[in-house]
Amino acid sequence: MFEQTSRYSGTVDSAMLYITVISVLMLLLITVAMIYFVIKYRASKNPIPTPYHGNTAIEVTWIVIPTILVMSMFYYGYKDFADLRNTKEFDEEYSVTAKMWDWDFKYENGTVTDTLYVPVGKTLKFNISSLDVLHSFYIPAFRIKQDAVPGRQEFVVITPEKTGVYDIACAEYCGVNHWNMYKKFIVMEQDEYYAWIESQASNKKDEVNTTEEKPTESESNEMSENGKK
């Protein structure tokens, strides 16, 4: 449904697909058996039921096989997530602060923006916190979500593999404008990003007031393109 934005989002999608395929097969099995029995043993056709109280071998089978299947699902969902969480080295760090009803994105050089600009192909760590109530930092395209908890700092790791403009949403209910915390997550070419972040740093030296400067024309074009998606 989505383009593959990172290796991790690909693994989430394949875990999703794996569970869905097994689920659909199970559902088909149950439904087909149910319909078949209902037709074959309808009262008008089969007025005398055959007493039958159960069968231990069958019971054991449908305890053991589902157990194996769900354990594989557990492993699938756990493994890639654990890999992601155990990432120890990061190219860039950002601090993401949620508040009613806005986000602040702070870069390592002190720049603060309300749109999040990041370079493609780098391992990025986002330290997430909140100033007031619970919020949740959610980027659907990267299959990433982390609650912003006041008084705590949580983190997520993203390694974007594709440039583009993606949505950031708040996923934890936080009041009247909860629905209106959409921001953009803009993945840029590396040289473009580093040029921009440099200029922000020098801007900052010139004026104490950090005015945000939209990077390039191509980015804003892309933004409107993705808006239609």
Site for other proteins in 29-58 (CB under 8 A): 30-31, 33-34, 37-38, 41-43, 46-55, 58
Single residue of 3, 91, 152, 214 touching other proteins by CB under 8 A? 152
| Window 50-109: residues binding other proteins (CB under 8 A) | 50-55, 58-59, 62-63, 66-67, 70-71, 73-74, 76-78, 80-82, 85
Residue 125 as a binder of other proteins (CB under 8 A): the answer is: no
Total number of residues shown for the chain: 229
Residue 19 or 195 having the CB closest to other proteins: 19
Q: How far is the CB of 45 from other proteins (least distance, A)?
A: 9
Q: Which of 133, 195, 201, 223 binds other proteins (CB under 8 A)?
A: 133
Binding residue for other proteins, selected from 57, 88, 176, 207, defined by CB under 8 A: 176
Half-sphere exposure of 163 (CA within 13 A, CB side): 14
List all residues 6 or more positions away from 215 whose beta carbon is below 8 Å from its beta carbon.
Answer: 117, 186, 188, 192, 193, 196
Indicate which single residue of 90, 121, 122, 140 sits in contact with other proteins (rule: CB under 8 A): 140
Residue with tokens 């989002």: 9
Asked if 71 contacts 103 with a C-beta cutoff of 8 angstroms, the reply is no
User: Which position has the token pair 């400067």?
Assistant: 213
What 3-state DSSP class applies to 9? helix
Q: Based on CB atoms, which residue is closest to other proteins, 152 or 214?
A: 152
Relative orientation angle of helices 56-85 and 7-40, to the nearest 10 degrees: 160
CB distance 186 to 117 below 8 Å: yes
Q: Which of 10, 16, 99, 104 binds other proteins (CB under 8 A)?
A: 16
The pairing of beta strand 135-139 with beta strand 102-106: unpaired
* Shortest reach from residue 191's CB to other proteins, in Å: 30
**Site for other proteins contains 177 (CB under 8 A):** yes
